[in-house]
Amino acid sequence: MSMPSLRRDWTVADLAELPDDGNRYEVLDGDLYVTPAPSLHHQAAVFLLARLLADYLEGEGIGFVVIAPADVIFSPRRGVQPDLFVIPPDHGRYPKRFEDVGHLLLATEVVSPSSGRADRVSKRTVYREEGVEVYWVVDLDARTFERSVPDRAGVDVLAERLEWHPDGASRPFVLDIEEYFRRVLDQ
């Protein structure tokens, strides 16, 4: 992810003025972040995780997976597009807009060479402050998942097994991390 622009105090409304050029534009606390198109491995990682989560969530009936590009607007100065996120149902149905549910059960970013600092610092801070229940950073090079929750300052770095048990679920989502990375990277 690029460094914040020199112009300060960007708002989500300013994003409408930017070109439709294949880049992802996000506003974090008034700073504009620009991310180029992701790699094929990045997209494979997002897609596989989305498939696995969608199967789990369908069985549990507690949420829906969304993949980027899709806007999550927390405030006029905080608009992001997580690579993948999970939203709760809106009265049992798929929400029409993020504003209909207002919070995320899970946000996930797959680290790219240009996005590491923003994903691990700026976005982690925003997601914690906005009460996102769980935040995962997927590191393709290290073959790890980093897990953050809002009520704990630390980060769990997981290399073997990831477990997520959202409220209302009868069973946890369990991911064999080594198998996940084999499927994404070793094909």
Give DSSP secondary structure letters for the chain: -PPPPSS----GGGGGGS--SS-EEEEETTEEEEEPPPPHHHHHHHHHHHHHHHHHHHHHTS-EEEESS--EEEETTEEE--SEEEE--BTTB--SSGGGT---SEEEEE--TTTHHIIIIIHHHHHHHTT-S-EEEEETTTTEEEEEETTEEEEEEESSEEEE--TT-SS-EEEEHHHHHHHHH--
Would you say residue 79 has pLDDT above 60? Answer: yes
The 3-state DSSP composition of the chain as helix, strand, coil percent (nearest 5) reads 30, 30, 40
Give the model's confidence band at 6: pLDDT under 50 very low, under 70 low, under 90 confident, else very high.
Answer: low
Q: What does pLDDT average to over the chain?
A: 89
Q: Enumerate domains of the chain plus CATH numbers.
A: 38-185 (3.90.1570.10)
pLDDT band at 8 (very low <50, low <70, confident <90, very high): low
Provide the terminal-to-terminal Cα distance of the chain, rounded to the nearest Å. Answer: 27
Q: How far is CA 98 from CA 79, 90, 149, in A?
A: 11, 10, 20
Specify the higher pLDDT residue, 131 or 2. Answer: 131
Q: 2 pLDDT exceeds 80?
A: no
Q: For residue range 47-64, what is the model confidence (pLDDT) as tens digits?
A: 999 999 999 999 999 999
Q: Which tokens go with 95?
A: 């929400």
Contact 110, 83 (CB under 8 A): yes
Tokens of 128: 């914690």
**pTM given for the model:** 0.85
pLDDT in tens, 88-122: 988 888 888 888 788 899 999 999 877 888 889 88
The β-bridge partners of 80 are: 72
Supply the pLDDT for residue 37: 77
